[in-house]
Amino acid sequence: MFKKILIANRGEIACRVAATARRLGVKTVAVFSDADAGARHVLACDEAVAIGGAAPRESYLRADRILAAAQATGAQAVHPGYGFLSENEGFAQACADAGIAFIGPPASAIAAMGSKSAAKALMGAAGVPLVPGYHGERQEPAFLREQADAIGYPVLIKASAGGGGKGMRRVEKSADFDAALASCQREAQSSFGDARVLIERYVTRPRHIEIQVFADTHGNCVYLFERDCSVQRRHQKVLEEAPAPGMSAGRRAEMGAAAVAAARAVGYVGAGTVEFIAEPTQDGSDLHFYFMEMNTRLQVEHPVTEAISGVDLVEWQLRVASGEPLPKAQDELTIRGHTIEARICAENPDAGFMPAIGRLDVARWPAHVAFRRNADAESFHDPAAVRLDAGFGEGDAISPHYDSMIAKLIVWGADRAQALARLDAALAQTHIVGLHTNVAFLRRVVGSRAFAGADLDTALIEREHTALFEAPPLPLPCVVGGVVAHALAVGRARETADPWSRADAWRLHGAAQRRFEIEVGGEHHQVRLERANGTARITVGDARWPFTTSQLGADRHEITVDGRRWVVDVYANGEQLTVFAPEGSGAALEVDVIAHAGEGGAEGGRLTAPMPGKVIAFLAKVGDAVKLGQPLAVMEAMKMEHTITAPRDGTIEALLYAPGDQVDEGGELLSLAALR
């Protein structure tokens, strides 16, 4: 076993690898960019080395600096995590040339699977089923459109060197092909340095099912069952589970054998994932499957495999990379229970999953276990617990330079129904304030008819749009009651023995009254709290609600409003308050009228950058008349392209940036004059 390893990554995966290394007595070295000097993964390791600027190309993608850090600290091996250099054959070879073990497959295997086109040809020769399509080297746009026309629409354009949903577009008709191809190639070039694409038939009602494989240097190769990753947005995974619902034992064995054959075909070593696209058989009793790609690294969703198999995949990676044989043979591997992982991301689902940046002013998690092995069992998962893999905590900031994922919440149950219930409860106890997240959206997905009933495919989010994006808000009495309870608790905390320190609006004669100006969901409400003779009521407009409250903790309150009881957690950030209740959360603004006196109205109709990023293209020119909602600009931020639309009708007066320019959040991209 190695004495010391360097972890060439950041965030939760770097913390995750460090946890297993610590348990095995292996020292760890972190690397960090200027933006990550105080990050959690730096603190999780025994040593840390600065490697450059905030942008990945100046730090985490600098193979030379990472290798220099490994040599300077005496690290015997490099664990690449996922993303960044994890599937870079040049980096893997550079490690080998420097006499440093690469904790992953050999460079030749990465090269073989690095091109989707070449990989599909290799898999076809190995007898692995393929989706009909064009996987060749010719890349002229007109030729590719001809291939798509011949395949038949809808088709899927995919970056040949891609992964993570980047450089992928679904095209419904020939007229849309050229624009989709250009966008796909731009994103592929930006993300992977390779604009080549392949074209495939778009499988109707596709499910994304992948097989975890593991091989050693002694000729052994096994599969550790499947993961269903069908729930996706923008071709990126949202929820992952294992085992796949509705998968027969026979089909599982067949897919596992195909995955092992794929790994053996390229001389694979270490942890890898063979991804398949699957569709129901004609009678719906089972699944057809087709090879999609192989990810030559550990996957984001590896914890679900760990939970059902009882295997620490990172431990296996370290053992195999140090020359040991696989700890278990295929017939020793079994499935236990059901597990689901939710990716908690800094993004706004209601704004097209636009990534968000900012500070985690509040980050409260459900009761959970960190990654560990039980002392009294071979399996490290605790069936009664929730697992949290996180690279951020309260007070940390989400940077625009990297991926938007904050943490992964993983639950295990004896069966799928129990896992679903545990995940909903864990998400309800996850309280994040300070920036947009997808936590509420994840709860809606978990509770949706389709997901709960295992009616899965990659279009589930679109199919369930009404339930997922048009859910009713938290009831107004709950939000208002939470704001009032919080205000009363703050007042009590400030009281001293001096009776004049009381802020309860006590009067010698008549009822005590306190007024609040509260905005909820864009609507302004004048709220009055009246207390007399030991009772209280809240008045909002014509509504009068009996009200009681008791404080259960620093931020927790039990409230009863108009006969309904809630236990709520309320967090304040200036005038902004967030109320968490069992059925969801709600935001409120407690307006200080005096503080805002004299403020003018906000400017309307400006086309501004929603976050820091790079201008990729403008889709209109000076002098063009545009309509509300018309796409006007494309920006790249947090590894994804985002289309910016017109905030109103108007005429473009000037483009204030050029393609390739960096723009700060709120920067005005163009000036838009009113139509005449």
Which two three-digit tokens encode residue 93? 């070879």
**Under a CB-based contact definition with an 8 Å cutoff, are residues 259 and 223 in contact?**
yes
Residue 191 three-state SS: helix
Residue 537's beta-bridge partner residues? 530, 546
**How far is it, in rounded angstroms, from Cα 143 to Cα 46?**
54
DSSP state of 98: T
Is the peptide bond preceding residue 154 cis, with omega within 30 degrees of 0?
yes
Q: What length does the chain have? A: 676
The one catalytic residue in 16, 40, 145, 297 is 297
Q: Where are the beta strands (DSSP E) in 243-319?
A: 270-280, 287-295
Amino acid at 32: F
* Apex 461 CA angle, 403 and 253, nearest 5: 85
> CB under 8 Å to 280, separation ≥6 — which residues?
205, 286, 287, 288
> CB under 8 Å to 626, separation ≥6 — which residues?
620, 632, 646, 649, 650, 651, 652, 672
Residue 556 annotated to the active site: no
> CB under 8 Å to 130, separation ≥6 — which residues?
120, 123, 124, 290, 291
3-state SS of 606-633 is: CEECCCCEEEEEECCCCCCEECCCCEEE
Is the peptide bond preceding residue 325 cis, with omega within 30 degrees of 0?
no
CB neighbour class for 175 (10 Å; exposed up to 12, middle 13-18, buried from 19) = exposed
Active-site residue set: 297
